[in-house]
Amino acid sequence: MMIHMTNSLYALHHSRFRTWLASAILCCFIAFPAQSAPLLPIDIPLKTEEGEVTLRGYEGKVLLLNFWATWCQSCIEEMPSLMALEEKYKDQGLVLLAVSEDFRGFDVIPGFLKRNGLEALNPVWDPKSKLYNALRLKALPTTLIIDRQGREAGRMVGGLNWMQPDIRKDMEALLNEPSEITSETPVAPPQDIPPPP
């Protein structure tokens, strides 16, 4: 598992994240100033049961952007703790968006979630893995933590128990940060990046 932290809040409190890594075989901590945090491709369309959404619709929220697939066992194992974290903090502005990378499309997702008791999940599908590639992801599951300003605050590669006390403590700190979203907030243009060989 690897964690890449990119928010100044996490840079200041990175010692807390050591407990996240207790069971990790490999870990990497990288901290950057908040102003250099990666910009998100917020206008790439994602499919839902009702139509389409983009990340622009979640501005001002703290977003857990979880990339998963129905065939990924570690993805499924961490889902209950991700959903429990969202349930605990949803009234404070935390949103879990589960981005499926299944090649067979959105139609396979609802039945799979029902069979596995995950009906409460908020799933979307990433056609042709455009968002996955634009974010230069390399593995599933990967979860990005997006702050209220639309910056990437952290990145976890690999499954995790998201209800650990230290994770909750840092999530509370992130949720308490003010929103500074403006119409002039810069965004990165969508781009297609070939998947790794």
> How many separate domains does the chain show?
1
Q: What is the Cα–Cα distance from 161 to 197, expressed in whole angstroms?
A: 29
The CA–CA distances, whole Å, from 197 to 100, 128, 194 equal 20, 16, 9
Q: How far apart are CA 186 and CA 136, in angstroms?
A: 19
Report the C-alpha gap between 160 and 171 in whole angstroms: 14
The DSSP letter of residue 64 is E
Is 185 part of any domain? no
Q: Does 39 fall in a domain? A: no
Inside any domain, residue 180: no
User: Exposure string (b/e) for 20-33, b if CB count within 10 Å is 16 or more?
Assistant: bbeeeeebebeebe
Confidence bin at 38 (pLDDT 50/70/90): low
Does 118 reside within a domain?
yes
- Residue 75 — pLDDT band, cuts 50, 70, 90? very high
| Host domain of residue 94 | 2-20+62-175
Would you call the peptide bond into 123 cis, given omega within 30 degrees of 0 as the criterion? Answer: no
Answer yes or no: is 170 within a domain: yes
Residue 67 covered by a domain: yes
Q: How far apart are CA 44 and CA 23, in angstroms?
A: 34
User: Residue 92 domain-assigned?
Assistant: yes
Q: So what's the pLDDT on residue 179?
A: 72
What pTM did the predictor assign? 0.75
Residue 40 lies in a domain: no
> What number of CA atoms fall less than 13 Å from residue 130's CA on the CB side?
17
Query: 118 falls in which pLDDT band (50, 70, 90)?
Result: very high
Q: Residues 130-168: pLDDT tens digits?
A: 999 999 999 999 999 999 988 899 999 999 999 999 999
Q: What is the pLDDT of residue 37?
A: 56
Helix 73-89 and helix 165-175: axis angle, to 10°? Answer: 50
More confident position, 8 or 83 = 83
Mean pLDDT, rounded, of the chain:
78
Residue type, 122: N
| CATH number of the domain within which 88 lies | 3.40.30.10
